[in-house]
Amino acid sequence: MDRQCGYVFGYGSLVDIDQLARFVGREIKSHEWTICRLRGYRRLWNIAMDNIVDLPGYKYYIDAKTRVRPRIFVTFLNIQPCENRAINGIAFRISAEELHMLDIRERNYDRIGVDGMLDRELPAPCWVYVGTDEAERRYQEGLRNNNACIDRNYYEAVETAFATHGSAFLAEFHGSTDGVPVPMRDLRVVPLPSK
């Protein structure tokens, strides 16, 4: 399989090189990723998963204190087209097999091409994950029902990921991300078996 399939632009938890390396099961060397910006997009919290729906190979959340599985819509980062805006992140090299693994992991997102939209040229195609319409509808349902929230661990993991690239990079994340629109909640992830 082609180990040089292309690049993915990460703008949230995928900015964490160590976490990404654990996910793909190999070391990601310094020449395989670069800090860059995606032009023409804004970053916001507006997609969600329905915590009471079991999806094989995915996850659900329990309350960190009570261990009860709450009826909530857990909210994640997304991006949307927006003129005259740009978001910071990293572009990392990925093989076809690793890209397939990411497609499965990022099930609340569609992968789209962003060639020519980054502030630097890459030697291969680049993609980014954009929230699906269905994931946006789930978030809107959570807003209507007043039960959308963000997992505090996820939020802190994203902040830590950006902070690993320096305080200015973290400040740029905050400056290029819409404010948190829903409460944070202390949750714990429970993985679901594939079958």
Where do the DSSP E strands lie in the chain?
6-10, 33-50, 59-63, 73-94, 109-113, 126-131, 148-151, 184-185, 187-191
pTM, whole model, 2 decimals?
0.94
pLDDT confidence band for 194 (50 / 70 / 90): confident
Band (pLDDT 50/70/90 cuts) for residue 4 is low
Predicted local distance difference test score (pLDDT) of residue 117: 97
pLDDT reported for residue 114: 96
Q: What share of the chain in percent tops pLDDT 90? A: 94
Distance CA 98, CA 141 (A): 32
Mean model confidence pLDDT for the chain: 95
pLDDT tens for each residue of 16-63: 999 999 989 999 999 999 999 999 999 999 999 999 999 999 999 999
Residue found under tokens 């994950």: 129
- Write phi, then psi, for 139 (nearest 5 degrees): -60, -45
What the chain holds in terms of domains, given with CATH numbers, is 6-191 (3.10.490.10)
